[in-house]
């Protein structure tokens, strides 16, 4: 009644790195990690030796067992060395998001109390400097090591912390999820994952700070497989990315839902060479799945669900023509391995069969809690006694779900105001708090508008008493404090604050205003930050639109046509820039793919994202010799 679990078996004892050590003894010369673009490869023996040197460095710097160690590295061989070395030292790795602003990285480092920071080569290895306590040691991953360094004499058991994954926090402070070795071991031995073999080649595409990277790295290495590091689809065009999957012989991958939707729309046959494809992070669109199944199905296509607090995978659903027949939504499926799934009401009592309740997850995959936040841990990780009398801890996901007649679970929505965008969990309150903290407005509200690749965040702020439009400055400041995926694409200015019957802000009404504003902006686009009343609703049509503004420039015309279609914007001008119209890296990848075909010249997504406006992008394309 509203609960179920998979068959359980003892996952074993000790750190997850011990499983990798066993694979080392199986075949020390097998390739553990390969970088597709550089050709750099590390054997299991080389990986283990270099990881031992990292562990030795941590011990020499006095990093205590269980202490978080920040890793400021991009995907690659060095990242795998660092993670394995930290595990061998008994510490917990904390991957930093290289795309996050310096302020956010500094907050994470301070909150976590890191014992060391592992960085790449050079003075500025990533996109921003790290503002950390100068007393915290920093070092790079050692180069080739000829022999193993004796590992520190540290006891690592199942409950020892393995990693810390930071997610958005409703209080404005990111929260660090403390994941023990027990949970990672459970992840890599789950039946849905357990069919990885030593001859597999696992594609690595996830941001190291995204929990999917946990599956990529440890899934590959504990299976004795090869972890193949692929470039981001934003860094290369989609055709080349798809060719790399095929040419590198990639057999297994985990893609975010947003990326899968984009590939399904633009190149549905690109994933057909895969033996196993996991997709997760957001609600999976049924038409996208059916398109891939029809035009280029991988050997196995699996929709997976699992917050960071449940270590990536809690449920799975095999997507086939038969399993999706007569369905209107893709379920999140059945529990993996020893996961316990419960659908509970507010009193933590199982709901009636088929009823909607909060999805709660128990079992060995559940994290320890939030680092340094006992009160928040107590609210989210709660004791629970199942109907059969077994007791344990469940994580309250905040997701609403129901169990279908066939036993599969279906995601319904959220209990709170947390949303997912491009695979990232976002607490809208964190953005609102950051906006108010700028001092530019006394009240701010943010909503997620739309689904799939076109989804975006749109905000509303109370106008200051001076009446000055602060939306452009607000967007600029938030861009320096929050990751790009957390910065609203547009802002509505509220002259007065709508209040409810209790005298508090009427969030429902404000949400409706934001939705109407976003819809109006799609019909009548303007610069980022333009307020709703910047263009009167009854303004007469501009005579300039009576003729084709791009008639004399076919390159600009083709760019405008693609942008208009992908962004849902019927009117695009040469002075518009992609980001201001609501574009993001995923949509930029789609645009680059389509424009490359239309214009007959390679175009990178970064060209679109970095161009000041459409006219500048067109000029770059013409400079490359394109003539239409």
Domains assigned to the chain: 3-140+156-403 (3.40.50.12780), 418-523 (3.30.300.30), 548-623 (1.10.1200.10)
> Would you say 331 and 303 are in contact if contact means Cβ atoms under 8 Å apart?
yes
- Mean pLDDT for 88-111 is 90
CA 387, 188, 230 angle in degrees (round to 5)?
A: 135
pLDDT higher than threshold 60 for residue 122: no
- Split at pLDDT 50, 70, 90, the class of 549 is low
pLDDT higher than threshold 50 for residue 131: yes
pLDDT higher than threshold 80 for residue 626: no
Give 477-499 pLDDT, tens digit per residue.
998 888 888 899 889 998 888 87
Residue 464 has a pLDDT of 84
pLDDT higher than threshold 50 for residue 268: yes
pLDDT higher than threshold 80 for residue 407: yes
Across 111-115, 243-247, 422-426, 461-465, least confident range? 422-426
Rg of the Cα trace of the chain? 25
pLDDT higher than threshold 70 for residue 540: no
pLDDT higher than threshold 80 for residue 529: no
- Mean pLDDT for 546-555 is 60
- Split at pLDDT 50, 70, 90, the class of 328 is confident
CA distance 206 to 108: 20
Count the Cβ atoms, other than its own, within 10 Å of residue 265: 18
Give 29-69 pLDDT, tens digit per residue.
999 999 999 999 999 999 999 999 999 999 999 999 999 99
> Would you say 364 and 11 are in contact if contact means Cβ atoms under 8 Å apart?
yes
pLDDT higher than threshold 90 for residue 448: yes
- Considering only residues 246 and 127, tell me which one the structure prediction assigns the higher pLDDT: 246
Write down the H helix ranges in 61-164.
Answer: 77-88, 102-112
Give 215-233 pLDDT, tens digit per residue.
999 999 999 999 999 998 7
Buried b (16+ CB within 10 A) or exposed e, 221-231: bbbbbbbbbbe
Nearest to 20 by CA among 227, 222, 225, 226: 222
State the virtual CA torsion across 10, 15, 18, 20 in degrees, nearest 10: 100
Give 564-613 pLDDT, tens digit per residue.
888 877 678 888 888 777 777 778 888 888 888 788 778 888 788 888 88
Both tokens assigned to 152 = 């520190």
Q: Is the pTM of this model over 0.85?
A: no
Residue 185 has a pLDDT of 95
């Amino acid at each position: 009644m509203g609960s179920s679990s998979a068959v359980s078996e003892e996952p074993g004892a000790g750190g997850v790195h011990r499983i990798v050590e066993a694979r080392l003894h199986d075949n020390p010369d097998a390739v553990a990690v390969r970088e597709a673009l550089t050709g750099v490869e590390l054997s299991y023996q080389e990986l283990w030796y270099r990881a031992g040197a990292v562990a030795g460095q941590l011990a020499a710097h006095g990093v205590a067992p269980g202490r978080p160690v920040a890793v400021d590295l991009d995907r690659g061989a060095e990242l795998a060395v660092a993670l394995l070395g930290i595990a061998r030292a008994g510490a917990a790795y904390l991957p930093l998001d290289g795309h996050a602003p310096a302020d956010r990285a500094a907050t994470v480092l301070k909150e976590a109390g890191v014992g060391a920071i592992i960085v790449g080569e050079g003075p500025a290895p990533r996109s921003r400097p790290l503002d950390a306590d100068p007393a915290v040691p920093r070092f790079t991953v050692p180069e080739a090591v000829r022999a193993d360094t004796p590992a520190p004499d540290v006891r690592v058991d199942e409950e020892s912390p393995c990693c810390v994954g930071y997610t958005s926090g409703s209080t404005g402070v990111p929260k660090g999820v403390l994941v023990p070795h027990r949970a990672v071991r459970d992840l890599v031995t789950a039946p849905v994952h357990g069919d990885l073999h030593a001859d597999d080649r696992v594609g690595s595409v996830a941001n190291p700070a995204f929990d999917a990277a946990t599956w990529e790295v440890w899934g590959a290495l504990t299976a004795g497989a090869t972890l193949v590091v692929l470039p981001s689809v934003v860094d290369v065009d989609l055709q080349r990315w798809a060719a790399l999957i095929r040419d590198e012989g990639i057999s297994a991958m985990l893609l975010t839902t947003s990326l899968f939707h984009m590939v399904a729309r633009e190149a549905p046959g690109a994933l057909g060479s895969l033996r196993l494809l996991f997709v997760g992070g957001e609600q999976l669109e049924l038409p996208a799945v059916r398109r891939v199944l029809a035009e280029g199905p991988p050997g196995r296509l699996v929709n997976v669900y699992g917050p960071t607090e449940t270590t990536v995978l809690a449920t799975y659903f095999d997507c086939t023509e038969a399993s999706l027949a007569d369905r209107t939504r893709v379920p999140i499926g059945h529990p993996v391995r020893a996961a316990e799934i419960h659908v509970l009401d507010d009193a933590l009592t199982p709901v009636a069969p088929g009823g909607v309740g909060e999805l709660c997850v128990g079992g060995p995959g559940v994290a320890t809690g939030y680092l340094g936040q006992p009160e928040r841990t107590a609210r989210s990780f709660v004791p629970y006694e199942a109907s059969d009398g077994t007791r344990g801890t469940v994580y309250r996901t905040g997701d609403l779900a129901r169990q279908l007649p066939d036993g599969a679970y279906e995601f319904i929505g959220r209990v709170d105001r947390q949303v997912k965008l491009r695979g990232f969990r976002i607490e809208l309150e964190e953005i609102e708090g950051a906006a108010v903290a700028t001092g530019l407005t006394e009240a701010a509200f943010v909503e997620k508008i739309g689904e799939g690749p076109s989804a975006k965040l749109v905000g509303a702020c109370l106008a200051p008493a001076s009446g000055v439009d602060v939306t452009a400055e607000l967007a600029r400041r938030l861009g320096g404090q929050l990751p790009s995926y957390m910065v609203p694409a547009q802002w509505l200015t509220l002259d007065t604050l709508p209040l409810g019957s209790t005298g508090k802000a009427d969030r429902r009404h404000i949400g409706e205003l934001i939705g109407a504003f976003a819809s109006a902006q799609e019909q009548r686009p303007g610069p980022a930050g333009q307020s709703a009343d910047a263009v009167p609703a009854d303004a007469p049509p501009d005579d300039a639109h009576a003729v084709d503004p791009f008639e004399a420039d076919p390159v600009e015309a083709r760019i405008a046509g693609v942008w208009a279609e992908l962004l849902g914007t019927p009117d695009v001008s040469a002075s518009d820039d992609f980001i201001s119209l609501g574009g993001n890296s995923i949509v930029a990848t789609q645009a680059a793919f389509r424009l490359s075909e239309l214009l007959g010249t390679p175009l990178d997504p970064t060209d679109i994202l970095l161009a000041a406006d459409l006219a500048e992008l067109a000029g770059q394309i013409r400079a490359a010799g394109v003539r239409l």
